[in-house]
Every structure is written in C-alpha cells, then in structure tokens.
Amino acid sequence: MNKPVVLVVMDGVGWTEKDKGNAVLHAYKPQLDELMSVWPHTTIKASGTAVGLPSDDDMGNSEVGHNALGCGQIYSQGAKLVNESIESGKIYASNAWQDAVKFVKDHDGKLHFIGLLSDGNVHSNISHLIAMLKQSKEEGLKEVRVHILLDGRDVPETSALKYVDQLEEVLAGLNDENYHACIASGGGRMVITMDRYEADWSMVEKGWQIHVCGEGRKFESAKEAIETYRAEGGYTDQFLPGFVVAHDGVPAGTIDDGDSVLLYNFRGDRAVELSKAFDYMNTGFSGFEQTKKPNVYYAGMLQYDGDLKLPEHFLVEPPHIEHTMSEFLVNKGVKSFACSETQKFGHVTYFWNGNRSEKFSDELETWVEVPSDIIPFEKKPWMKATEITDLMVEAIESGKYQFLRCNYPNGDMVGHTGNYEATLIGVESVDLMLRRIMDACKKMDYVLLVTADHGNSDEMYDKGTNPDGTPKPKTSHSLARVPFAIYNGPEGTEVKDSQDLGLANIAATVVKLLGYEPPKEWLESITK
C-alpha cells in the first residue's frame, strides 16, 4: 500500500507545553491539534547534536535542519565545523588564510573582518573572530579593521553593546606600537549587508557603501552609534541603521586596494550576496552599482555555494554531504516537487539537496519559488501561505509527482520580529492552509507528513520585562522539539516511541512510505 508522500515544513514551529509566550500553544490551530492527537504523531529533535551542532545547548536553524531533512544523516555543521578547524589550527594553514595574510603584507594593506557580532552560533560566533584577530597579530600584520553586523535575532534583541564591549576589550589588549585593530563600521543585520536569496539587493548596497566606501552617518565609536540610534528611533539591534566609525570626519577603515577581506559568518544564505559582490566585482556583477571596486583578496569562512564555487577562496572546508534524498529519488525515477516563498526557497532546494544550487535532474525535479514581499513580516504575518498552498494543491491534484515538499516560513520569519500578536496570526495562517493540503491529500490518497525544522514561535518571551512591565520579546530560535505527524498513511501506520529521533530520521520515513528500502547511510525511519 505504497503512496505518494507530501512533506510540509512549518518553519519555526516548536511543540512544547512550556509557556514563555508560546504562540503555537495559544494559536487557534484545529488542523495541527488534530494531527497531533488523532493521527500517528510524536515529537522529534531539531537542535544541538541532532543536527550536527556542538552541543544540545545550541539552537537549531533552518539551514542545518533542512540539510538533515534532505540527507537523512548528521554532519558536523556551522559552529562545530569551524570550532574543530580553529582548535586544530587547520584554518590558519588553509590556502585562503595564508594568501590573505600574504596579500596584505605584499601590498602594505589592511586585513578586514566582516560578520555578525554575537555568540548566537547560527551565523557566526564572536569567539571565532577573536581567535582570528589574535592570530592576525601573530602573523605580523599591522592594520586590522572589523565591520560589525548587529544581531538581536539569534540573541537578545538589544544585546549589541555586550558584544561590542567584549570586542573593544580584546582589541585594547592586542593593540600596541606594532599592531592596530579597531571597529570601522557596522549596522543591523536586517538593514545592511546580510540579505539572502536576492530578496533585497539594496541591503547589500548599503553595506558596500558603509564597509567599503566609508560613506554613511559617522560616529566616534560603535557604542556611540548604537546608543544614539536607540535614543533617536528606539531601534532594536537587527534593525539599527548603518554607521561608519570616524575620527575628525575620516573613516577608521575603508576597504582599499591591497587589502584582504574575510567574511567570518559560517552560514551560507546571508553570505552569498556579499560574496558575489566581491568575487564578481570585475566580471559583470549586476546586483547594484559599485561606485568603488577595490583590488582586494576576499575569502569566506566557508564556501557558501558549492555549485557556484562561491566564494572562490574560503577558510574552512564545508561538510561534503552525500547520499541525499533527492539524489536517491532521482535514481529511482521518482518525480518530485518543491515550493516555498523566497525567504525559505533555498531551504527546500539548496540546503535540502546537500548545499547544491543545481538540481540532480531537471526532468524529475520541479522547483517553484513564490516571490516574498519586501515588507516587515509583522505587518503581513500571513506572508505567502495562500500562494504556496495554491501551488501545492495544484501539484498534488495533478498526480504528476510522487514526492512533494514545501516550507511555510511564517512561524520563523514573523517569530523573529518579537511581535507575539503577529506571530499568533502567522501560526494560524499556516494552520488554515494545512486544511487545504490535508483535503487534497485525502482526495488523491497521498500520505501527508507535517513537521518543523526548529523552534521559534513557541517561545516569544525572554527573561525579564520591559520598563513598562510588558514581557521582553525573544527573537531567537528555541530548543524545543518539533511536531511530527502522519496523515492518511497506510493502514496500520505507527510511529516509534523514542526520544532520540530527530529531523534526520525523516528521509528514511519518506522513502519507506514510498515503498523503497532506505540507504544504509541514513538514520532509521520514524515509522515502525
């Protein structure tokens, strides 16, 4: 009784009874409640070691989550991968590090670090930056600049000064008559530099003007910039406008001919566009008009896109993911369909396929992207859920595909805003669309699997309260387990009773329901 399978990923929807602003628990969600009570269901791991991160105290994220979903295995990821390289010293023996240092020395230039300044362990970790700063002094470099992107998303929303103070203390301890390092520019991650999926190139253009050209509002220090912007506009860290650190009107560190630039973020989605701006600078780059094109050596922490070989130079080898579900299904002649809106399209394609931007088969794989609106997510928390559902229902009812997958970004993207009321609407919007997917699966006799890639909207309140007594918003992911339910499965379908199952167990579950024996490399199926 093998059937076609539909997999729905509700991004950022953790499943827990803990109530710290739990927008999932309190949302009106009759479909999800039905799935997690009437039908075979369980909860599974979506963070920490279950998705290849250093410890179980590390929050999961969409990238490692979709890697695990798409390959059925656990690979060392992100922070763990970089930690291992720094601890072993391999990062400093890499061609990219050695060449970056040599380029600076040969041209009497500066070494620049650009990246997210926090210990959120999702895009970056300040400890990696500090380790490389110390090594840059050991290498005999003289001038080093740091361009800081403020977080407030994977860490508390107004925690930037904690990390700025930590960095300034390190810099003060390193600086002497032979070595000078300082913060040169910065801004919020959702305003400059860290756009993804080419949703808003103007963000990267703003970052280019600030980091490269030194053009922007000037302050004597990063601390002054942060405190001034907060006082003027009440900005949280991720939305803080860009700034240039300058003394007597002179920028502390523009990026010029003869400099080397290292992007120390390890997560790929929000690193690709800046990498294109540097790597493609002289080969037809069209993202925005580059008024300044310095001759620099550029490298990323990782190679963020293996198919595009982007960037050309990188410090740490990314995980080489093999035996993905897509490749397995293509080899079996199975037609598949993947859909999401721009904000998560790369997750059901690039990350799902083991960090490959290309399909394994143009004939057998169909990918459809719904363009995301460029609007604050709390202003339109339903996002593109209806359009994604329209496409999914059409694809299911066409009967063309044996495996279909989609991602609804609402629980994550709206959850990151810290707006509890908007997040309730986001969760409820997805639940409303689940009914249509369920009905289509029942009509066509397809199996529906519903899960999430990590928690977020289940924990919207942080510790403490605001001055007015209201709960302090939490904008980062949570450590919650995530739901997993099977709707309209073959008769007698049951799920295993184990607390050790995680996202990587879903691949074997899918192919088993399709009637195939999972590869030996994969973790076991969730079904008995």
Q: Active-site positions?
A: 62
Kind of pairing between the strands at 5-10 and 403-408: parallel
The residue type of 160 is A
Structural contact between residues 279 and 310, judged by C-beta atoms closer than 8 angstroms: yes
517 burial (CB, 10 Å; 0-12 / 13-18 / 19+) is exposed
Say whether 125 sits in a helix, a strand or coil.
Answer: coil
Q: How far is CA 259 from CA 100, 108, 262, 292, in A?
A: 8, 8, 10, 14
Distance of CA 158 to the CA centre of its chain: 20
Structural contact between residues 287 and 272, judged by C-beta atoms closer than 8 angstroms: no
Helix (H) or strand (E) holding 408: strand 403-408
Q: How far is CA 249 from CA 219, 280, 458, in A?
A: 9, 31, 46
Contacts for 222 with CB less than 8 Å, ≥ 6 apart: 148, 164, 168, 183, 186, 243, 245
Angle at 326 between CA 321 and CA 330, to 5 degrees: 125
Kind of pairing between the strands at 243-247 and 250-251: antiparallel
Structural contact between residues 451 and 44, judged by C-beta atoms closer than 8 angstroms: yes
Structural contact between residues 186 and 228, judged by C-beta atoms closer than 8 angstroms: no
Burial annotation 123-155 (CB, 10 A radius, 16+ → b, else e): bbbbebbbbbbebbbebebbbbbbbbbbbbbbb
Burial annotation 179-190 (CB, 10 A radius, 16+ → b, else e): bbbbbbbbbbbb
**If you ran DSSP here, which 8-state letter would residue 347 be given?**
I
Dihedral over alpha carbons 481, 482, 487, 491 (to 10 degrees): -30
3-state secondary structure 272-305: HHHHHHHHCCCCCCCCCCCCCCCCCEEEECCCCE
